Structure 1
Amino acid sequence: MMRSLLTLLAALTLWAFPATAQQGGPLRLELTEGVIEPMPFAVPDFVADTPAAQEFARNIARVIAADLTGTGLFREIPAEAHISRITSFESPVQFADWRAINAQALVTGAVNVDGSGRVVVRFRIHDVFAGQELGRGQQLVGDRDGWRRIAHKVGDQVYARITGEGGYFDSRVVFVSESGPKDQRAKRLAIMDYDGANVQFLTDAASIVLAPRFSPTGDRVLYTSYETGFPRIYVLDVANVGRRVLPTLDGTMAFAPRFSPDGRTVLYSLTQGGNTDLYTMDITSGASTRLTTAPSIETAPSYSPDGRQIVFESDRSGTPQLYIMPVSGGEARRISFGQGRYGTPVWSPRGDLIAFTKQSKGRFHIGVMRTDGSEERLLTASFLDEGPTWAPNGRVVMFTRETQGAQGEARLYSVDITGRNLRQVVTPSGASDPSWGPLQN
Structure 2
Amino acid sequence: MMMRILILLTSLLLATAAVSAPLRIKITEGVVEPLPFAAPSFIADNAAGAEYAKALADIIAQDLTGSGLFRQIPEAAHISKITSFASPVQYSDWKAINAQALITGTVSGSATGQITVKFRIYDVFAGAELGKGLRFTGSADGWRRMAHKVADVVYGRITGESGYFDSRVVFVSETGRKGARKKRLAIMDYDGANVQYLTDSASIVLAPRFSPTGDRVLYTSYETGFPHIYLLDVGSVKRKVLQNSAGTMSFAPRFAPNGKSVVYSLEQGGNTDIFLMNFSLGKSRRLTNAASIETAPSFSPDGSQIVFESDRSGSQQLYVMSASGGSPKRISFRDGRYGTPVWSPRGDMIAFTKQNKGRFHIGVMRIDGSKERLLTASFLD
TM-score, normalised with respect to structure 1: 0.79
CA contact under 8 A between 1:336 and 1:373: conserved in structure 2? yes
Greater Rg, structure 1 or structure 2?
A: 2
Output one character per residue of 1:175-227: Cα deviation in whole Å (capped at 9) or x when no partner. 11112356543211101111111110000111000011111221111110000
Matched, 1:174 2:175: no
Corresponding letter in the other structure for 2:114:
R
| Structure 2: distance between partners of 1:161 and 1:33 | 23
Corresponding letter in the other structure for 1:138:
L
Matched, 1:96 2:79: no
State the 4+ residue runs in structure 1 displaced beyond 6 angstroms.
none
Q: Out of 252, 262, 265, which is 1:266 matched to?
A: 262
Match of 2:336 in 1: 340
1:352 Cα deviation (Å)? 1.5
Evaluate the alpha carbon distance shift between residue 28 and residue 43 of structure 1 in structure 2; reply closer, same or farther with a 3 A threshold.
Answer: farther
Evaluate the alpha carbon distance shift between residue 352 and residue 246 of structure 1 in structure 2; reply closer, same or farther with a 3 A threshold.
Answer: same
Output one character per residue of 1:107-145: Cα deviation in whole Å (capped at 9) or x when no partner. 011111134321111100011111221122411111001
Evaluate the alpha carbon distance shift between residue 163 and residue 27 of structure 1 in structure 2; reply closer, same or farther with a 3 A threshold.
Answer: closer
Match of 2:3 in 1: none
CA contact under 8 A between 1:30 and 1:163: conserved in structure 2? no
Evaluate the alpha carbon distance shift between residue 183 and residue 373 of structure 1 in structure 2; reply closer, same or farther with a 3 A threshold.
Answer: farther
SS at match of 1:246: strand
CA contact under 8 A between 1:45 and 1:58: conserved in structure 2? yes
SS at match of 1:301: strand
| Structure 1: distance between partners of 2:304 and 2:229 | 23
Corresponding letter in the other structure for 2:145:
R
Output one character per residue of 1:395-424: Cα deviation in whole Å (capped at 9) or x when no partner. xxxxxxxxxxxxxxxxxxxxxxxxxxxxxx
In structure 1, the gaps of 5 or more residues are 1-21, 386-441
Match of 1:74 in 2: 70
SS at match of 2:306: strand
Corresponding letter in the other structure for 1:315:
D
Output one character per residue of 1:77-119: Cα deviation in whole Å (capped at 9) or x when no partner. 1111111111111001111111111111110111111343211
SS at match of 2:148: helix
Match of 2:14 in 1: none
| Structure 1: distance between partners of 2:99 and 2:25 | 14
Evaluate the alpha carbon distance shift between residue 32 and residue 280 of structure 1 in structure 2; reply closer, same or farther with a 3 A threshold.
Answer: same
* Greater mean deviation of Cα atoms: 305-314 or 113-122: 113-122
SS at match of 2:32: coil
| Structure 2: distance between partners of 1:155 and 1:292 | 43
Match of 1:113 in 2: 109
CA contact under 8 A between 1:25 and 1:127: conserved in structure 2? no
| Structure 2: distance between partners of 1:170 and 1:342 | 32
Evaluate the alpha carbon distance shift between residue 258 and residue 227 of structure 1 in structure 2; reply closer, same or farther with a 3 A threshold.
Answer: same
Evaluate the alpha carbon distance shift between residue 82 and residue 29 of structure 1 in structure 2; reply closer, same or farther with a 3 A threshold.
Answer: farther
CA contact under 8 A between 2:247 and 2:269: conserved in structure 1? no
| Structure 2: distance between partners of 1:73 and 1:285 | 45
1:29 Cα deviation (Å)? 4.2
| Structure 2: distance between partners of 1:340 and 1:143 | 52
Match of 2:8 in 1: none
Match of 2:368 in 1: 372
Corresponding letter in the other structure for 1:139:
R
| Structure 2: distance between partners of 1:25 and 1:383 | 46
Output one character per residue of 1:255-286: Cα deviation in whole Å (capped at 9) or x when no partner. 00111222222211111111111111222333
| Structure 2: distance between partners of 1:152 and 1:53 | 17
Evaluate the alpha carbon distance shift between residue 286 and residue 189 of structure 1 in structure 2; reply closer, same or farther with a 3 A threshold.
Answer: same
Match of 1:434 in 2: none
Output one character per residue of 1:300-321: Cα deviation in whole Å (capped at 9) or x when no partner. 0011122211100111122211
Corresponding letter in the other structure for 2:69:
L
- Paired-residue identity, %: 70
Q: Out of 81, 86, 94, which is 2:82 matched to?
A: 86
Q: Out of 236, 240, 243, which is 2:236 matched to?
A: 240
Q: Matched residue pairs, number?
A: 364
CA contact under 8 A between 1:125 and 1:137: conserved in structure 2? no
Evaluate the alpha carbon distance shift between residue 262 and residue 29 of structure 1 in structure 2; reply closer, same or farther with a 3 A threshold.
Answer: closer
TM-score, normalised with respect to structure 2: 0.91
CA contact under 8 A between 2:22 and 2:160: conserved in structure 1? no
Aligned pairs for 1:411-426 within 5 A: none
Corresponding letter in the other structure for 1:68:
L
Computed over aligned residues only, the root mean square deviation of the Cα atoms, in angstroms, reads 1.8
Q: Out of 39, 42, 48, which is 1:43 matched to?
A: 39
| Structure 2: distance between partners of 1:28 and 1:286 | 43
1:152 Cα deviation (Å)? 0.8
Match of 2:377 in 1: 381
SS at match of 2:339: strand
| Structure 1: distance between partners of 2:135 and 2:164 | 19
Match of 1:303 in 2: 299
